[in-house]
Structure formats: structure tokens, C-alpha cells
Amino acid sequence: MVVSKEEILHIAKLADLNIKDDEIDEYAKNLQDILNFVDVLNSVDTQNIKESIGTVNNSNVFRKDEIKEFGDRDILLQNAPEQEDNMFKIPKVI
């Protein structure tokens, strides 16, 4: 699979990244390298290996449904560039 210029622009848009025209080739090459590596992984024979989800073998790590209040709103809001009425203030969205 070859990464096209259009794909790079599309992915950049989805990721909300501004990339310059002269950077496209470089990103295309980087992504191509990753895809090539995935090809290597895909070539491994996995016929006798049990299917797994994710990299940990753990399953069913659950929490009880019990309330623990964090209780410190000021700390949660302290790094907000702007706040109003105890809420994060952001540029207007419709």
C-alpha cells in the first residue's frame, strides 16, 4: 500500500494538524515506513496462536458502582486559560 498526498492531507485534517506543503513528502515517507513495518508483522505465521485483543492478557477489570466525589472543582479548573461561572470558557461554537 502506498500513501498518497491526498491521504496525508486527509489524515492531517482529521487530526486537526496544519502541515505545510513541503512537509507532505516527509510525512508520507514516515507513514509509509510504518505501513511497511505492519507488512512485516502481517507476514508472521499466527496460525497456532490464540486470538487476543490488545497486548494485555487481563480481562474483566471492573470497578464497583460506588460514588467517590473528587470534590475540588478549583483544582480541576485551575489550568483553564479562561473560565466563567465555574465552566471552561472557549471560543464560541454553535
Partner 1 sequence: MSREDYEIVIGLEVHSELSTKTKIFCSCPTEFGGEPNTHCCPVCMAMPGTLPVLNEKVVEYAIKAGLATNCKIADISKNDRKNYFYPDLPKAYQISQYDMPLCEHGYIEIEVDGEKKKIGLTRIHIEEDAGKLNHDDYGRGSLVDLNRAGVPLIEIVSEPDLRSSEEVDLYLKKLKSILEYIEVSDCKMQEGSLRADVNVSVRKKGQKEFGIRTEMKNMNSFRSIVRAIDYEAERQIEVLENGGKIDQETLRWDDVSGKTFSMRDKEDAQDYRYFPDPDLVTIRISEEMKENIRKSLPEMPESRKKRYIEEFKLPEYDSNILISSKYFSDLFEGATKVCNNPKAVSNWIMTDITKELNEKELEPSDIPFTSEQLGNLVVLIDKGTISSSIAKKVLQEMFENPREPQKIIEEKGWVQISDEGAIKEVVLKVLEANPQSVADFKAGKDKAVGFLVGQAMKETRGKANPQMLNKMFLEELKK
Contact positions vs partner 1 (CB under 8 A):
10, 14, 16, 52-56, 58-70, 73, 76-77, 82, 84-94
Minimum distance, C-beta of residue 80 to partner 1, in the bound complex (Å): 9
End-to-end CA gap in the chain: 39
Distance CA 3, CA 9 (A): 11
In this structure, are residues 30 and 37 in contact, taking their beta carbons and an 8 Å threshold?
Answer: no
Nearer to partner 1, 47 or 52 (CB): 52
Minimum distance, C-beta of residue 21 to partner 1, in the bound complex (Å): 19
Residue 55 CB contacts under 8 Å (≥ 6 apart), including other chains: none
Nearer to partner 1, 22 or 60 (CB): 60
Nearer to partner 1, 1 or 67 (CB): 67
Nearer to partner 1, 40 or 56 (CB): 56
Backbone angles phi, psi at 84, to 5 degrees: -155, 135
Minimum distance, C-beta of residue 16 to partner 1, in the bound complex (Å): 6
Distance CA 3, CA 66 (A): 48
